[in-house]
Amino acid sequence: MSFKLPKLSYSYEDFEPFIDKKTMEIHYTKHHEGYTNNLNKAISNTDMINLSIKEILRRAKMETPIIRNNSGGFYNHNLYWEILIPHLKYSPPSKNFHNIIQKNFESFDLFKEKFYSLSMNCFGSGWAWVCVKNKKLSICSTTNQDNPLMLGIGCEGIPILGLDVWEHAYYLQYQNRRSDYILSFWNIINWKKVEENYQLAIS
């Protein structure tokens, strides 16, 4: 098995002014494609060649850094592209999912505040996640290209939403203003897809 870069359902410019066209293009064609190609090279001629990406992630912590980093980079970006939507097509969470968020975090505003805080406080490069664990929502962060499907990293669960806070995701437009990038993210979340991910995770 070899992993393939997924096709995007939108154009690079569809996220302006929140994410600029050049950032989207470089992020997808250079970074994500690089993780994909490097993962395929790393697992060739190993016993992982016929495993799914989730099976690889389950043992990634015990593998070499090249497998851990590139399997995470491949999976994380796949999820990231799926939970983005052009802002002209944006719609808020459904009433049902909004209520689920409120039930888990007391209010939608507190949910946003916690996600913002973890995103801001992720030192260096990493990701902020909304996960399902024991059928409940939780928020956590990981460093580098780790993710909640990896065992023993202190952020376990099934990820349903992820924000890339590596500088390559925002630096061309926002420079050192990670805060502005995080706040812009709320305008381009595909809540329908996030809710679908949630339903799959609890089923």
pLDDT in tens, 97-110: 999 999 999 999 99
Q: Which domains does the chain have, with CATH numbers?
A: 20-203 (3.55.40.20)
Q: Indicate if the alpha-carbon torsion angle 27, 33, 34, 35 is positive or negative.
A: positive
pLDDT in tens, 96-154: 999 999 999 999 999 999 999 999 999 989 999 999 999 999 999 999 999 999 999 99
CA atoms within 13 A on the CB side of 51: 19
The pLDDT confidence band at residue 1, using thresholds 50, 70 and 90, is low
Q: Which of 108, 90, 88 is nearest to 98 (CA)?
A: 108
